[in-house]
Amino acid sequence: MRIVAGAWRGRNLVAPSGDVTRPTADRVRQALFDQLQHAPWAGRAMLEGAEVLDAFAGTGALGLEALSRGAARAHFIETDRFALVALRANIAACGAGDRCSVMPGSALRPRAGVPCGVVFLDPPYGLGLVPQALAALRAAGWIAGGALLVVETGRDEIVEEIGELLDERVHGAARIAVWRA
């Protein structure tokens, strides 16, 4: 697994062993960020200088990819202790410690945060956690008005309407939907 593009292109990322953490594949991240950067409802300016939240962060690949492509800061929420070790190692490998905050804990019970214009949600598949997480993140102040919500679920999972659906694509076992908050 590696950073696909931007300032840290080609930088290798580590992931914990086992199946608790399911990192978003390089090719899926490439397709997602290409989609975001070229969409009329997003574009390159959407990411440059943005505050980004990577909830259910795992290895932090989505947030670090955003930083590599110009985001100002990334905030990571993760519960698994092995994933947190990998996440911190990946932040250090990118030299991004001054642009990141790591919050051990659940995205379902987050501490108060800063409004983010781009929110990545990649919860465990099949548990229906997206609505709960979004409600908790909104209540804690993490979601800016008009934010892009990038939600990765299992291919066959249905997410109830959480805003304006801008795009939805299937990549193998994953479904990625982009919503406007």
pLDDT tens digits, 20-76 = 676 777 888 889 999 998 898 888 888 999 999 999 999 999 999 999 999 999 999
113 lies in some domain: yes
Cα distances (Å, whole numbers) of residue 39 to 49, 53, 104, 112: 18, 20, 33, 31
40 lies in some domain: yes
- Return the C-alpha torsion angle 47, 85, 4, 10, nearest 10: 130
Give me the number of domains the chain comprises: 1
pLDDT range class, residue 175, cuts 50, 70, 90:
very high
pTM of structure = 0.93
159 lies in some domain: yes
Residue 111: both structure tokens together: 């501490």
Residue 173: both structure tokens together: 């076992």
18 lies in some domain: no
8 lies in some domain: no
Structural domain for 36, as ranges: 26-180
9 lies in some domain: no
HSE-CB for 102 with a 13 A CA cutoff: 23
Please, what is the average pLDDT of the chain? 92
Here the CATH number for the domain that contains residue 54 is 3.40.50.150
Give the pLDDT mean for 153-180: 91
111 lies in some domain: yes
Tell me the C-alpha distance between 11 and 5, whole Å: 9
